Amino acid sequence: MYGVVEISGHQYQVKAGDLIDVQKLENAEGSDVTLDKVLFIGGENLAVGTPLVKGASVTARVIKSDRSRKLLVLKRKPGMYKKKKGHRQHYTSLLVTEITDGQGNSDKLDSKSPLVKKYLKK
C-alpha cells in the first residue's frame, strides 16, 4: 500500500519504510508525526480523495533536522564586480512507519527492516 500526502504544500508518494526529506518541521527529533492530508491511497483498495481521503493518515517518525549542502550563487556584471553567495536549505528527515486508509486497512513498517535497527532503537 502506498499513499500520496501533502506536507507544507508539497506532495510526496510514500509507503511504509520510506525515508523522505521534507521542508523543515518544528517537531523534535524522535517524535511521531501524524499526517492527515492524504490525497490518494494506492494498492489493492484504491481511494481517491476529493480533495482528501476521509479517515486516512500516515504516521512518520522524525529522524533528524538539518541543513542541506551549500549551493553557490554567482552574480557577475561585466566590468563591474563579482558577487558570490551561498544558500543552505533547512530540511527534516521522516521515516514513514504506518499508512492507514479510511476503511480499517493499514500497512506498517516491518520490524526486521534494517531501517528499524538503525533509526528506531529502543
Residue 122: band (very low, low, confident or very high) from pLDDT cuts 50, 70, 90: low
Residue 66: band (very low, low, confident or very high) from pLDDT cuts 50, 70, 90: very high
Task: Please give the Cα distance from 38 to 15 (Å, whole number).
Answer: 12
Cell 507544507 belongs to 8
* pLDDT in the model for residue 73: 86
pLDDT tens per residue, range 68-121: 999 988 888 887 788 889 999 999 999 999 999 888 899 998 888 888 888 877
pTM of the model: 0.83
Task: Please give the Cα distance from 94 to 120 (Å, whole number).
Answer: 12
- Measure the N-to-C terminal CA separation of the chain; round to a whole number of Å: 26
Q: 88: which residues sit within 8 A by CB, 6+ positions away?
A: 67, 68, 69, 70, 71
